[in-house]
Amino acid sequence: MTATTGTNGRVQVAARTLRTDRWWLQPLLTFAGLTTFVVYGLVRTFMNDNYWVPAYHYLAPFYSPCLSHACQPGSSHWGQWFPDFGPLVTPPLFVLPFILGFRLTCYYYRKAYYRSFWLSPPACAVAEPHKRYTGETRFPLVAQNVHRYFFYSAIPVAIVLTYDAVIAFHGKDGGFGIGLGTVILVVNVLLIWAYTLSCHSCRHLIGGRLKHFSKHPVRYWAWTQVTKLNARHMPLAWVSLFSVGFADLYVALVASGTITDLRIFN
């Protein structure tokens, strides 16, 4: 008999779960963490202000790259590709689909939000409330297969954030300088790279479709490195999410004058 994802292929157990541990805690924390990030992201996207610190060349990650004529002077390092469409179409909206698409279709985040938002299922060995389960076998969730293409789009985004971190070595009197903001942007981009390179699609791209690793020593070496990161994909997903939010918040606070950047040099 062929195994299916349909209800008929499932064991029928009357109790919702036989688990007695706190299985609900992890989906609850995941729900709280992702909801907080989404709310913060929405607020920042439509704030349309406080994302560029000209004195130190700090650009908030949520507004990078800033590709619109609506961008603040000096913040468009890669050109202004789009006209100013008014206050409702803010600069992050041009890049957000790629960043969101990469995270939303990520194998780890899929597990996280399927469990915490759709309760499908909320935890191992806990029945889901839905009557039918088709998984990712049909529309719309079959579209999750586009993840590998979002991975390609994540590479330029990481390169842009790397550029932002490099130009953040800027002093208030011009020339070289380092502030706490520089450190935060550098740490953030390192975590973004670690998360991006730990992607399952990246691992497959580097080491997949090979019959003999011995004939491809460079790809084998790269695959072993990416595999080490891949084993930490879940913590990297969380820590990079936290760091990008924190870096954005720090730049927003400095740009708005709420706090002063702690200068280490110049």
Per CB under 6 A, which of residues 131..160 are in contact with ligand FES?
147, 151
Closest separation between CB of residue 239 and ligand FES, Å? 13
Lookup: tokens for 72: 């603040």
Neighbours of 254 (CB within 10 A): 23
Nearest residue (CB) to ligand FES, 144 versus 266: 144
Whether 188 and 250 have beta carbons less than 8 Å apart is answered as no
Size of the site for ligand FES (CB under 6 A): 9
Closest separation between CB of residue 237 and ligand FES, Å? 6
Per CB under 6 A, which of residues 94..133 are in contact with ligand FES?
106-108
Per CB under 6 A, which of residues 197..256 are in contact with ligand FES?
199-201, 233
Residues 6+ apart with CB under 8 A from 59: 51, 52, 53, 66, 75, 77, 164, 168, 251
Cα–Cα separations (whole angstroms), residue 55 to 80, 171, 240, 257 = 21, 7, 26, 12
Nearest residue (CB) to ligand FES, 106 versus 206: 106
What are residue 179's DSSP bridge partners? 263
Closest separation between CB of residue 161 and ligand FES, Å? 15
Tell me the residue ranges of DSSP E strands in the chain: 52-53, 58-59, 178-179, 263-265
- Please choose, out of 69-77, 83-91, 158-166, 196-204, the segment that lies near ligand FES by the rule CB under 6 A: 196-204
Nearest residue (CB) to ligand FES, 146 versus 259: 146
Nearest residue (CB) to ligand FES, 66 versus 244: 244
Distance, CA of 260 to chain centre: 28
Nearest residue (CB) to ligand FES, 23 versus 117: 117
What are residue 178's DSSP bridge partners? 265
Residues forming contacts to ligand FES in the complex (CB under 6 A) are 106-108, 147, 151, 199-201, 233
